[in-house]
């Protein structure tokens, strides 16, 4: 199973045929903060919110302990990689914890296991 970050969902919204074809049979599983990032992107990019709302998302929950682990990861990665955010750390932590593969186009995840990069 897959957990999607905002960059992957945005590619789906943009109609990226390679991404649509590869993940068309998958549930769009994400965390609530990723959902928020994509919603904000739609507002900013003038993408119809109605189109966004048609997408069937499934949310995965997380705990305080997950946030703590994510912040430890963020602290370590920020020493070497600037382009890695709070949400990146949290979504990756949730993917690892739940034995999911994180789908992204964000190279801030480079070098981490359980990550699948999409073509753009």
Instruction: Please answer whether residues 80 and 108 qualify as being in contact, where contact means their C-beta atoms are separated by less than 8 angstroms.
Output: no
Both tokens of residue 80?
A: 């070497």
Least confident span in 6-10, 35-39, 48-52, 75-79: 48-52
Give the pLDDT confidence score for residue 25 in this predicted structure: 92
pLDDT, tens digit, for every residue of 51-73? 888 889 999 999 999 999 999 99
Contact partners, residue 22, CB within 8 Å, separation at least 6: 118
Q: Are the C-beta atoms of residues 49 and 42 closer than 8 Å to each other?
A: yes
The structural domains of the chain, ordered by start, are 2-117 (3.40.50.1010)
What is the pTM (predicted TM-score) of this model? Answer: 0.93
Residue 96 has pLDDT above 80, yes or no: yes
Q: How far is CA 13 from CA 19, 34, 52, 101, in A?
A: 10, 14, 7, 20
**Dist CA 21 CA 13 (whole Å):** 13
Helices (H), 6-108: 6-13, 17-23, 32-44, 49-54, 64-78, 86-97
8 Å CB contact between 4 and 30:
yes
């Amino acid at each position: 199973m897959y957990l999607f970050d905002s960059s992957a969902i945005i590619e789906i919204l943009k109609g990226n045929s390679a991404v649509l074809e590869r993940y068309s049979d998958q549930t769009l599983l994400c965390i609530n903060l990723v959902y928020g990032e994509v919603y904000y992107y739609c507002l900013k990019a003038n993408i119809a919110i109605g189109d966004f709302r048609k997408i069937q998302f499934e949310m995965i929950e997380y705990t305080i302990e997950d946030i703590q682990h994510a912040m430890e990861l963020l602290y370590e990665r920020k020493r070497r990689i600037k382009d890695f955010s709070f949400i990146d750390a949290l979504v990756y932590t949730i993917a690892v914890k739940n034995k999911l593969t994180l789908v992204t186009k964000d190279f801030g995840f480079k070098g981490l296991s359980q990550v699948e990069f999409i073509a753009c």
